[in-house]
Chain A
């Protein structure tokens, strides 16, 4: 039997992860609850009217999603670690990148589902209505989520053999994702406020560039990290 194609491996790992997650819904539930808590706490701290909320909502939304994503990212490799799957992967001929892509895409799907579920709540709590081109929020969310997830999956693998693993992931992830976070928040705020003199286009292009640079970096270095940890 010939070795399966790398894309086949990615798909197989991805469907396995999604199926496992769908049955237990562990990560999804904890992410949802966490994001909800963040939203509620923020609404108590600020009581914005519609005008103000448009200006600050961009930042609040992405901070909530970022923290929730960290919850998902922390358990990315937990299952693999428990069952020595990583050792099995290291000795198999399967390319390491297939595993990485499967994990990253899986995390991406989880976080996007979370965003889809949380967005109506945000709109309700902060009386939001986009005054700018709302369709632009889709590339912002897509590129932005991928930026967090691709680096997060990579750093989660890096922090596997560290003390205080759960703290190490955000510690490594947050500084590196600052340009992406800034772009996401600024793009969202620009779209919500809808000032005709400003455009979110630069931010979207910057996010896309960030994604290309770091996806390449992760794919180039993941094999090294997998064998090193």
Chain B
């Protein structure tokens, strides 16, 4: 596994370079905004990657909390399957209530993918592994979120003349960033023996908050309309292709970064455990 890493690293670097070329050269120039619009090919994939990572963090946190008790574990698995089935059925039954460009098939796919990730984590990660996964995805998610928050204003400034407009997407991302930074601060500053449990509880709260954040800012914006950074509306299929290429490249990159961070954390905990054991077994009974 470790030998694959440098090869995968080179492949990802190549993919990212190809994606960069696509974004800067191949993609058609935008009519109104010009070349600045190309920031879009880095801004949007970073946002989607960050959201995906935070979603995995939520699933890992829930798993960590429910797996401490075999009964809650079974109940939670049942709930996940039930929710997935409900989504599949509900997407077609309530087809007419869905927003304009959301198809039932994508709702069903999302539901199944989320349930799938839940059970994959449950199968392949131990209890401690789940906790490390939560920490890793939160950290890397914050990194990608920072990129979104930096590229957003850099796009807004030349196009709208202002750095920030409290527009819905950027503001929601800022709040998301704040929530996960507070999660990381709790992780670092907590000296309780059960920090993973506390952090998992905070992650669940953060995830519950996300739809509320979105709705509150959405209504705020309808009351006080302002320009929307990132543009809305339909997208040229050639641009969509470049966008997806960049997203795939960044996803590969994110996977590698998470993998390294995960290994680092695992090694760190093994070393700490060894050090603790050594302190206990020190000859003469000295405690370091």
State the A residues within 8 Å of B (CB): 151, 158-164, 168, 171-172, 174-176, 178-180, 182-183, 186, 198, 202-203, 206, 209-210, 213-214, 217, 221, 224-225, 227-229
> Known contacts being A158-B186, A161-B192, A171-B182, is A186 close to B223, with CB within 8 Å?
yes
Whether B219 and A225, one on each chain, are in contact in the complex, defined by CB atoms closer than 8 angstroms, is no
Whether B197 and A224, one on each chain, are in contact in the complex, defined by CB atoms closer than 8 angstroms, is yes
Whether A217 and B204, one on each chain, are in contact in the complex, defined by CB atoms closer than 8 angstroms, is yes
A-B contacts besides A168-B186, A206-B212, 7 pairs, CB < 8 Å: A172-B186, A174-B178, A175-B179, A175-B182, A182-B217, A221-B204, A228-B192
* A72 shortest CB reach to chain B, Å: 20
**Residue numbers in A under 8 Å from B191 (CB-CB):** 161-163
* B189 shortest CB reach to chain A, Å: 5
Cα distance, A146 to B124, chains bound together (Å) = 41
Residue B208 is within 8 A (CB to CB) of chain A in the complex = yes
> Known contacts being A176-B206, A182-B216, A217-B204, is A162 close to B192, with CB within 8 Å?
yes
Cα distance, A229 to B194, chains bound together (Å) = 6
Residue B220 is within 8 A (CB to CB) of chain A in the complex = yes
**Residue numbers in A under 8 Å from B215 (CB-CB):** 179, 206
| 12 A-B contact pairs sorted by A residue (CB < 8 Å) | A158-B198, A158-B202, A159-B186, A161-B190, A161-B191, A162-B186, A164-B189, A172-B182, A175-B209, A206-B212, A217-B205, A221-B201
**Residue numbers in A under 8 Å from B201 (CB-CB):** 158, 221, 224-225
Chain A residue with the shortest CB-CB distance to B178: A175
A178's contact among B192, B205, B213, B219, by CB below 8 Å, is which? B213
Residue B255 is within 8 A (CB to CB) of chain A in the complex = no
**Residue numbers in B under 8 Å from A151 (CB-CB):** 205
Whether A229 and B192, one on each chain, are in contact in the complex, defined by CB atoms closer than 8 angstroms, is yes
Main secondary structure of the interface of A (DSSP, over half): helix
Task: Give the total number of A-B pairs whose CB atoms are below 8 A apart.
Answer: 93
Residue B257 is within 8 A (CB to CB) of chain A in the complex = no
5 closest A-B pairs by CB? A228-B194, A161-B192, A175-B178, A179-B216, A228-B197
Chain A residue with the shortest CB-CB distance to B194: A228
* A104 shortest CB reach to chain B, Å: 15
> Known contacts being A202-B219, A229-B194, is A172 close to B212, with CB within 8 Å?
no
Chain B residue with the shortest CB-CB distance to A183: B216
User: Which of A159, A162, A214 has the most B CB atoms < 10 Å from its CB?
Assistant: A162
Chain B residue with the shortest CB-CB distance to A181: B216
Q: Which residues of B192-244 have CB atoms within 8 Å of chain A's CB atoms?
A: 192, 194, 197-198, 201-202, 204-206, 208-209, 212-213, 215-217, 219-220, 223
Residue B149 is within 8 A (CB to CB) of chain A in the complex = no
**Residue numbers in B under 8 Å from A176 (CB-CB):** 179, 182, 205-206, 209
* B130 shortest CB reach to chain A, Å: 15
* B81 shortest CB reach to chain A, Å: 20
Whether A171 and B219, one on each chain, are in contact in the complex, defined by CB atoms closer than 8 angstroms, is no
* A156 shortest CB reach to chain B, Å: 12
B190's contact among A162, A180, A183, A202, by CB below 8 Å, is which? A162
Whether B206 and A206, one on each chain, are in contact in the complex, defined by CB atoms closer than 8 angstroms, is no
Residue B76 is within 8 A (CB to CB) of chain A in the complex = no
